[in-house]
């Protein structure tokens, strides 16, 4: 799975369970909007996912990737996993949850060490994650982002809005919002497209026909 992304001479690879602490060090370079007292629980959960090495992604339904500098030092990381909104939205029933987690994932963190920012490493990690999820049969990636990151994600093909709007048959229109955040989604295959419902730009095709 290793690949070098020119012109940065950066190697992108799965994170090993033994490298959890370095992963956490990079993650904390971005604002997690998580109270300090909740961080140990968050890192314990991530450590658990890192122990589950192997398909369909780097760690089951989770994808943890490092970007290494030429000397092998991890300088950036990305983590993607099953979207929490799938389990927290009361309109999404258990049978829908089981199907969604195998078709839609969420970018949780994307962090680059300050000394390596501005070199396109975040873009390379994003493209690699999208390619891997597409190859694993996923149809879309979602994420929540701060308002000032909107241009970055729209430049990479994500549709950003104040709420995530989806058509999930047989229920119909389902929305998800987090105060203070924007929601974004990117289709990975032609299964997913957008339509306008009740004035909202809604994604369709998350669930199989």
DSSP type of residue 73: -
Higher pLDDT, 88 or 4: 88
To which residue do tokens 């957008």 refer? 194
> pLDDT tens across 130-140, in order?
999 999 999 99
For residue 33, what pLDDT band results from cuts at 50, 70 and 90?
A: confident
Instruction: Name the residue among 201, 49, 84, 65 with its Cα closest to residue 133.
Output: 65
What pLDDT shows up at residue 81?
97
78 within 8 A of 110, measured Cβ to Cβ: yes
Cα–Cα distance for residue pair 22/146, rounded to 1 Å: 24
Question: Mean pLDDT across the stretch 93-100?
Answer: 95
* % of the chain beyond a pLDDT of 70: 96
Cα–Cα distance for residue pair 1/194, rounded to 1 Å: 32
> pLDDT tens across 163-181, in order?
999 999 988 999 999 889 9
């Amino acid at each position: 799975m290793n690949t070098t992304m020119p012109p940065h001479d950066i190697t992108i690879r799965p994170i090993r369970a033994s490298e959890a602490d370095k992963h956490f060090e990079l993650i904390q370079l971005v604002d997690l909007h998580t109270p300090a007292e909740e961080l140990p629980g968050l890192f314990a959960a991530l450590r658990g996912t890192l122990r589950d090495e192997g398909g369909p992604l780097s760690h089951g339904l989770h994808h943890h990737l490092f970007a290494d500098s030429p000397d092998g030092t991890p300088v950036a990381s990305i983590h993607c996993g099953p979207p929490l909104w799938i389990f927290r939205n009361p309109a999404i029933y258990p049978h829908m949850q089981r199907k969604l987690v195998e078709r839609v994932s969420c970018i949780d963190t994307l962090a680059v060490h300050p000394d390596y920012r501005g070199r396109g490493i975040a873009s390379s990690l994003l493209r690699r994650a999208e390619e891997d999820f597409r190859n694993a049969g996923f149809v879309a990636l979602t994420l929540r982002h701060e308002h000032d990151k909107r241009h970055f994600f729209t430049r990479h093909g994500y549709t950003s809005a104040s709420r995530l709007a989806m058509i999930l048959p047989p229920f119909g229109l389902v929305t998800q919002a987090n105060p203070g955040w924007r929601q974004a989604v990117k289709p990975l295959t032609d299964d997913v497209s957008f339509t306008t419902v009740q004035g909202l730009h809604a994604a369709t095709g998350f669930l199989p026909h």
